[in-house]
Amino acid sequence: MGKTDLRVLGKMPLNAEPPCLVELTRHPITPLHLAYARNHSVIKDLASEFDSYTVKIDGEMEGMEEKVLNVKDMIASFPKKEVVAVLICAGNRRAKMQETTGKAVRGIKWSEGTIANARWAGVLLRDILISAGVSEQEDDQKGFHVWFASNVAPCEDDACYGGSIPLDEAMAKDGDVMLAYEMNDGPLTPDHGFPLRVVVPGYFGMRWVKWVDQITISREESPNFYQQRDYKMLPECVTSPEKAIDEDWWGRIPAMQRLNCNSVVAHIQCLTPACPDQKTLKVTGYAYAYSSISRVEISADGGDTWHEVRITYQEGSWSWSLWEGELVVDIDTDALEFANHGPKNGRPKTKITVISRAFDRSGSAQDTDCRWNLRGVGFCGVGVGSVEV
């Protein structure tokens, strides 16, 4: 797998994230050694099988014909497409949800680093499906889903890993859903799905199936465990796995698909350490949504007043947004000295907390009061960072 600078949260299967948001957000395009690892099975090294690796395409849509595509032939036969898109685990910020709500969540306690912005290259799924007889007419596509499956390795909770998205998303003329074979201008590595993975820009990472070897068109969503019994934002009343099953909440709640609007504070730096009663803070972070970010705001008074920051990086329609801004914060030094019982204890210190919120171009806003859910997925409460001055 090469060099890695990740904090390992599980060894078998491997699950790990970069430990330092400052380092992660230094790079508009996430280098491979900082790209998080999320797996429900062992990592398969399929280098020796590349020449014979195939993807089966089948389904129940009228006019379709079953096809088996050799990956080498597919790469040679279809146009190459490149796109910058952010890959995000649905459990990103799970630990923050538990900390903020004070209620335990089930799952790996990810911090805020299960995110990677990468340059992907591959074949548009639309082109592949059209070659298999899928209709280009939007009315014909309604009500259908595209299943993705990887049968190369047994999973923790199912015989294989799978998931699905609506067919019209895969067939959108302005969409970029693809079968990718390159990441950051090089071949996929085994831990990122070599030789072929699904890339669904604007969707959570669980739909970006690695080592994909089967694509099916169906009138139903994928029956796979990871579509039907995981990655759903259960209501707050569902407090145990048993209740979720007994009251059929898994069947009543839709699967998570599109990214929500979110932002994270990565770092706060005090630019005026010598000034006792007024501090200038430089704040940096990241944001993302299903559509591109239009603005990010920060506040140092709990949200009473907000200040717009600068977006320093955003590429195309599907990348993350990196941002930075400055805040001037007044410090009540008299109150601090009283709280610290006068100057005999040295210069008094106080903690300043900065929060962030994001808005996207579709008009959606970060749900800053994002509520608890049993699996701890989709958390998008305000970004929070603190600094002692």
Query: In the prediction, which pLDDT does 2 show?
Result: 42
Q: Quick one: which of 353, 235, 286, 282 has its CA closest to 86?
A: 286
Strand partners, 237: none
The tens digit of pLDDT for each residue in 142-196 reads 999 999 999 998 899 999 999 999 999 999 999 999 999 999 999 999 999 999 9
Query: In the prediction, which pLDDT does 3 show?
Result: 47
- Would you say 285 and 296 are in contact if contact means Cβ atoms under 8 Å apart? yes
CA–CA distance, 60 with 267 (Å, rounded to integer): 51
pLDDT in tens, the chain (389 residues): 444 689 999 999 999 999 999 999 999 999 999 999 999 999 999 999 999 999 999 999 999 999 999 999 999 999 999 999 999 999 999 999 999 999 999 999 999 999 999 999 999 999 999 999 999 999 999 999 999 999 998 899 999 999 999 999 999 999 999 999 999 999 999 999 999 999 999 999 999 999 999 999 999 999 999 999 999 999 999 999 999 999 999 999 999 999 999 999 999 999 987 677 889 999 999 999 999 999 999 999 999 999 999 999 999 999 999 999 999 998 876 655 544 544 555 667 889 999 999 999 999 999 988 899 999 999 999 999 999 98
Q: What's the one-letter identity of residue 261?
A: C
Structure tokens at 117: 């912005």
- Domains of the chain by start residue, with CATH: 7-252 (3.90.420.10), 262-388 (2.60.40.650)
User: Where does 150-293 have alpha helices with state H?
Assistant: 167-171, 225-228, 241-246, 249-252
DSSP state of 331: -
Alpha-carbon distance values, 72 to 75, 77, 211 (Å): 5, 9, 14
Query: In the prediction, which pLDDT does 346 show?
Result: 60
Query: In the prediction, which pLDDT does 1 show?
Result: 40
Query: Beta strands of the chain (E only): which ranges?
Result: 7-11, 14-17, 54-59, 67-70, 81-88, 115-124, 145-150, 161-166, 178-183, 186-187, 197-199, 214-218, 262-270, 278-288, 293-299, 307-308, 310-313, 321-330, 351-360, 383-388
Strand partners, 322: 286, 313
The tens digit of pLDDT for each residue in 300-344 reads 999 999 999 999 999 999 999 999 999 999 887 665 554 454 455
